[in-house]
Structure 1
């Protein structure tokens, strides 16, 4: 049972966190550093371009939260930029795979990669989605895509994505977390944090394509309660406890998207707190137009394309246009 008072207090802190943030100053500092490196074509220090992508992402996270949480808007343009940046963090990280094998980035993770992947699918960005999925599969478990992730909902999203798109990882699209854990164990790659069970998410995966709208409504209600309980532990819970996405029910919104694409009925409304928050009410088109490029991200992409023939986007022509 969700502690309503605790949840509301956590949500107030969630919103307040983005009031008067320092993201603009950090963005400008990163931009100045990036421009300096690009102007002299400094390939000895260009890994800083990748590191500073965190500042770009943080800036657009702040824009998104201000637009939606604080102003109660429904525009997804800034959120789209965030997911685009995650894609380019992966593409950039590939360049430094051998030069800096242990490089760590703040928001570069399996979790954020899967979140970006399902948003690409949600937005209908077919070309970029395929590139991103192939990257995840190819490097799953190594230093480019460490998959030792404890988040049950992330493994739920990956399995639902695979079943929806009729694709596989490690030869399956069922009980994917266990298949990946077994494969990584055999390859002696870290996997001890991957959960053995998915709880409510296993129940949903068994019934996600039910034609019974009452059944899916009940399951979504349980998902929402689970999400809300964990989000109430803002800053403490490992799952839904961070300020980026704590009260953004993207796993439920993606389930609704998949069911809609499969021609299955969805609930017409929700009565719970989480599904009536601004981030659950954003206007998402099908498909979504590509976002306008962040100018600093564009400079970084141009730099990598010019200096690194192995840069993955070089093999795919124009992207996000």
Structure 2
């Protein structure tokens, strides 16, 4: 049974985690310190060391993650530029990892399937159609390999991927239904790890069956169950993997995406929510249509240019250089 008091205490803990101003000062110092190492590798064209650039993208992501929390949770700002920057860093992290799949096939990635699907969903909500298209093509081509490990237990992630496919009329592995099952079967055939993929999607199975219902009362009831599911897991902050983390714990982006696609389809959505989860500063963020691109991160620009020059098979070489502008 859902415990409202427990959820409120967990949320206070969630916010308190980002209240120490020193962590932002340290993050800025660390970010500025990345420049020399990146520029040295690029200046000397040290390809034998250029995997370090991929690691540095992870540090850039972590920096913007902290700034996003500071802007929204601590400073009460309405700016989402840091949220946009962290999604852009994830994009480059994922697509750059593919360069090293032969040289370092066992390299651990610092992002997850959950992160990459979240990035795809945010690009969609931002209205960044070109980048969304590129990322989806990459996911469809590489799902389950070393660039995008799909052995993932997060039910909401599989829900988001399938809802995206239904919304965009796309397919992965020739299907847009029970995608998690199709991916698991493919991984079994490849003798790849698959033990974390869930047996079902719980409440999300019901939502996928009715995501486009014209009946507002029906979708409102389903969203209520989604809120309870998310809130219960977020209440176990630090103890559960799905919503028990400090990145997306109290950020209901799976519900916001459902509301987004229904609005785009001209379908009714609830206009007001009483629950804590839907009234946090993160849940109340407003996205423009389309959302303007932020100023390009100079370190990501340098890394991207280096990969384009040195690796003809770099995925983004297929699309030219007119991204995020």
* 8 Å Cα contact 1:73-1:282 kept in structure 2: no
* 8 Å Cα contact 1:74-1:281 kept in structure 2: no
The corresponding residue for 2:267 is: 264
Taking the aligned partners of 2:78 and 2:228, their CA distance within structure 1 comes to 23
Give the counterpart of 2:295 among 292, 296, 319.
Answer: 292
Of residues 183-192 and 231-240 in structure 1, the stretch that sits farther from structure 2 once superposed is 183-192
Q: Deviations over 1:275-309 (max 9, x none)?
A: 00000111101111222111111111111112222
* Count of equivalent residues: 320
The corresponding residue for 2:222 is: 219
Give the counterpart of 2:112 among 109, 122, 141.
Answer: 109
3-state DSSP of counterpart to 1:280:
coil
Give the counterpart of 2:93 among 77, 80, 89.
Answer: 89
Q: What are structure 2's unaligned runs of at least 5 residues?
A: none
Taking the aligned partners of 1:260 and 1:123, their CA distance within structure 2 comes to 14
Alignment of 1:34-53 (within 5 A): 34-53=38-57
Q: CA deviation at 1:315?
A: 1.6
Alignment of 1:1-321 (within 5 A): 1-19=1-19, 20=21, 21=23, 22-106=26-110, 108-317=111-320, 318-321=322-325
Taking the aligned partners of 2:18 and 2:102, their CA distance within structure 1 comes to 37
* 8 Å Cα contact 1:118-1:157 kept in structure 2: yes
Q: CA deviation at 1:246?
A: 0.4
Taking the aligned partners of 2:213 and 2:78, their CA distance within structure 1 comes to 29
Taking the aligned partners of 1:94 and 1:133, their CA distance within structure 2 comes to 15
Q: Deviations over 1:76-118 (max 9, x none)?
A: 2111111111110112101111111111132x22111100011
Q: CA deviation at 1:31?
A: 2.7
* 8 Å Cα contact 1:149-1:193 kept in structure 2: yes
Runs of 4+ deviating beyond 4 Å: none
Taking the aligned partners of 1:32 and 1:219, their CA distance within structure 2 comes to 51
Taking the aligned partners of 2:79 and 2:226, their CA distance within structure 1 comes to 25
Taking the aligned partners of 1:66 and 1:219, their CA distance within structure 2 comes to 32
Calculate the TM-score normalised by the size of structure 2: 0.95
The higher relative CO (CA closer than 8 Å, separation ≥ 6) is in 1
Taking the aligned partners of 1:151 and 1:267, their CA distance within structure 2 comes to 25
Calculate the TM-score normalised by the size of structure 1: 0.96
3-state DSSP of counterpart to 1:279:
coil
* 8 Å Cα contact 1:50-1:89 kept in structure 2: yes
* 8 Å Cα contact 1:57-1:85 kept in structure 2: yes
Of residues 191-200 and 179-188 in structure 1, the stretch that sits farther from structure 2 once superposed is 179-188
Taking the aligned partners of 1:127 and 1:285, their CA distance within structure 2 comes to 16
RMSD value over aligned CA atoms?
A: 1.2
Q: Deviations over 1:57-92 (max 9, x none)?
A: 111111111110012222221111111111101121
